[in-house]
Amino acid sequence: MFSREEIQRCIIWACESEVLSPKPGNVNSVSDGHNMQVEDFIQSAHAIAPALTESNNSVGQRILLAVQATREVVDCNTNLGIVLLFAPLCVAIEQCKHRDQLRDKLSEVLKALTIDDAKYCFEAIRLAEAGGMGKVQDQDINDTPSVTLLKAMEQAKDRDSIAAQYLNNYQSIFETGLLNLTFEINSGESVEWATTFAYLYLLSDSYDTLICRKQDKQTARIVSQRAKKFIDRCSKNNVLKSFSAELSDWDQELKRDAINPGTTADMTAATLLVYALTSNEFQRTFMCTEQDVRSLNTYNLP
């Protein structure tokens, strides 16, 4: 249904749209942060696209190759969560004859994950040097896994929202992120603000597990409550862009305190990829040659 080149364009568009949207607490086109810059994410997006679309490779192999490709262009962890979420989606879309089959095929891909997938994935996590992982008694990332990748994700689901998506067939991404992103875009909202809106919905819907690991659950709860306040205010016939100054202030506050809702950002990127792979509107409006992708994301941000 999609050519390899088309899936790569979707990957790049999703990654660039995520990082360029003004999401509070994350690196964005208005404000860098957490010792990373927008260009780090742009380079990473282009690096992972070929690795994630090697059709002869398994989910685990694609994860490892994508992290290796990332480390060749940047010396920081820009996209481990994105890669973990993108790899099964890329395998699933290759098996689809129609866009509306994506979630069913995704379920099949996740259920078919193997111990080898886990071994490749654990190696990728170690290479990415992900922060806040901690030490666990069973299936620790520094050990050789003895279970399938799906089983390993099951053991991690309570401390990591990305792992939880493997268990619920990307429920938050399809039913919270995609629903709200699509609604906003169909209502005439720009991609960058629709992305930020979906991000805030995801953030208000569940505590960001990166914050839980790096700070604590109470901090994550406060951040989620703050996101919900913006969502509630938007429901009173206000557009999110009208709160751009307040969002910018919150963005700086979070970065000053080294609070990064990074798991939610990764889930937002996956939301954008699902939108790109399933939306007829995307195919009409945004599908283009690779060199044109970045021009689509040259937004007029405040």
CATH no. for residue 41? 1.10.4200.10
Report the distance separating Cα 274 and Cα 26, nearest Å.
21
Structure tokens at 276: 């790109």
**Burial zone of 298 (CB within 10 Å; 0-12 exposed, 13-18 middle, 19+ buried):** exposed
Closest alpha carbon to 102 in 170, 201, 202, 199: 170
Is 299 within the bounds of a domain? no
Report the distance separating Cα 130 and Cα 128, nearest Å.
5
pTM for this entry: 0.91
Is 302 within the bounds of a domain? no
State the residue range of the domain holding 223: 4-290
DSSP track, 57-111 = S-HHHHHHHHHHHHHHH-SS-SSHHHHHHHHHHHHHHHT-SSGGGHHHHHHHHHH
- Residue whose structure tokens are 């279970």: 147
DSSP track, 113-149 = --HHHHHHHHHHHHHHT-TT----SSS-TTS---S-H
Is 133 within the bounds of a domain? yes
Is 295 within the bounds of a domain? no
Which residues make beta-bridge pairs with 36?
33
Is 185 within the bounds of a domain? yes
Report the distance separating Cα 156 and Cα 153, nearest Å.
5
Q: What is the pLDDT of residues 19-53, one digit of tens each?
A: 999 999 999 888 877 888 999 999 999 999 999 99
Structure tokens at 162: 């990305």
Report the distance separating Cα 248 and Cα 223, nearest Å.
14
Is 275 within the bounds of a domain? yes
Report the distance separating Cα 252 and Cα 245, nearest Å.
11
Chunked mean pLDDT (size 10), the chain, 302 residues? 92 96 91 85 97 97 98 94 98 96 98 98 91 57 91 95 98 98 93 96 97 96 97 82 93 96 98 95 64 40 32
pLDDT of residue 108: 98
pLDDT of residue 1: 78
Closest alpha carbon to 162 in 190, 124, 219, 105: 124
- Residue whose structure tokens are 């742009």: 42
pLDDT of residue 230: 94
pLDDT of residue 35: 80
Is 128 within the bounds of a domain? yes
Is 301 within the bounds of a domain? no
Instruction: State whether residue 36 is helix, strand or coil.
Output: strand
Count how many domains the chain has.
1
Report the distance separating Cα 195 and Cα 177, nearest Å.
9
Contact status, residue 61 vs residue 54, Cβ threshold 8 Å: yes
User: What's 31's DSSP letter?
Assistant: -
